[in-house]
Homo-oligomer: A and B are copies of this chain.
Amino acid sequence: MTSKNEDRSQTLILAAYHTIAEKGFEGLRLREVADRVGLNHATLHHYFPTKEALVQAVVLYVTQRFAQTVPIGETPVEQLRSHLHLIQQLMQEEPALFIALNEAKLRAQRDPIIRITVQKQAEAWHEFLVNILREGIKQGNWSESLDVEAVASAIIALINSTNIGLSSKRTKQAMQQLERWLELND
């Protein structure tokens, strides 16, 4: 049954994702992944023929998970605010996701296939932010002189690294400052 197949695959991806978050790609062992799921390590190869295949699936999963922070809100300002809040919420609820994402981004630099996945998501995110900003300008929320591309890039850069190399206190401060710069606070 395909559904069962996909269930198993999904469970394996989840297990691998958590292992990567805990120990990095460096510490990813197929046997451990299989153990976490209660599967024989050889059976894992039925679902993912090679380690690389599993890693790719994890990267895809992680980027998609992140992309699902769909904001709600009527106005662009509300949307952006909601977007940032959802991300902050995710940071607290599932910090593993951000660690795994950063692992993926570093690996993307050496692994062309992963690079494609990661870049695609980055582009989509950038476009999404640009659209919100443009709409906001149209509606008079932000000045017309705003360099939307640059602001989008700055938002992404800032969010990317929070939660990594920064204490959660500093992370919160940085996000707060971002909101101030974007004039989202009131």
Contact = CB atoms under 8 A, between A and B. Distances in A.
A164 B178 CA distance: 19
A150 interface: yes
Contacts of A162: 157
Contacts of A158: 154, 157-158, 161, 174
A102 interface: yes
B161 A177 contact: no
Copies held by the complex: 4
A contacts with B: majority SS: helix
Given A99-B109, A106-B24, A161 B166 contact: no
Nearest to A156: B166
Nearest first, the 9 A-B pairs at minimum CB distance are: A161-B161, A160-B161, A105-B165, A154-B177, A150-B177, A153-B173, A153-B174, A150-B173, A157-B174
